[in-house]
């Protein structure tokens, strides 16, 4: 198996869910706050832009405005519905 294939297999969504649920990651930031609550996991639904389901229009606008204030060197830009709303 190539290194690239191994990396792809490791980072596959279902595998990341299993690893997180098993507590494999040492970093506190990568651990679920409450393993009984599926919403506390970092790997939840695999939906691009899924944060929009959790944030109000006001909160999304706040995030867009914060992105606009970041140094352009980093290349952050609003995307998806956020880009349309701004």
Q: Report pTM.
A: 0.59
Work out the widest C-alpha separation in the chain, in whole angstroms: 47
Q: Which residue segment(s) compose the domain that 7 sits in?
A: 3-40
pLDDT digits (tens, 9 = 90+) for 29-80: 888 888 889 888 888 888 888 888 999 999 989 988 888 888 888 888 776 5
Regarding whether 56 and 79 lie in a shared domain, the answer is: yes
Q: How sure is the predictor about 8, in pLDDT bands with cuts at 50, 70 and 90?
A: very high
What does the pLDDT read at residue 1?
86
Give 27's pLDDT tier (boundaries 50, 70, 90): confident
Neighbours of 60 (CB within 10 A): 19
Residue 22 lies in a domain: yes
Q: Domain for residue 8, yes or no?
A: yes
In this structure, are 27 and 54 located in the same domain?
A: no
Residue 45 within a domain: no
Number of domains making up the chain: 2
């Amino acid at each position: 198996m190539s290194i690239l294939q191994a990396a792809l297999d490791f980072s596959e969504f279902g595998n990341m869910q299993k690893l997180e649920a098993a507590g494999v990651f040492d970093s506190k930031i990568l651990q679920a706050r409450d393993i009984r609550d599926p919403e506390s996991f970092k790997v939840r639904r695999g939906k691009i832009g899924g944060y929009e389901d959790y944030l109000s229009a006001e909160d999304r606008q706040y995030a867009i405005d914060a992105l606009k204030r970041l140094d352009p060197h980093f290349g952050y830009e609003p995307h998806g519905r956020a880009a349309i709303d701004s």
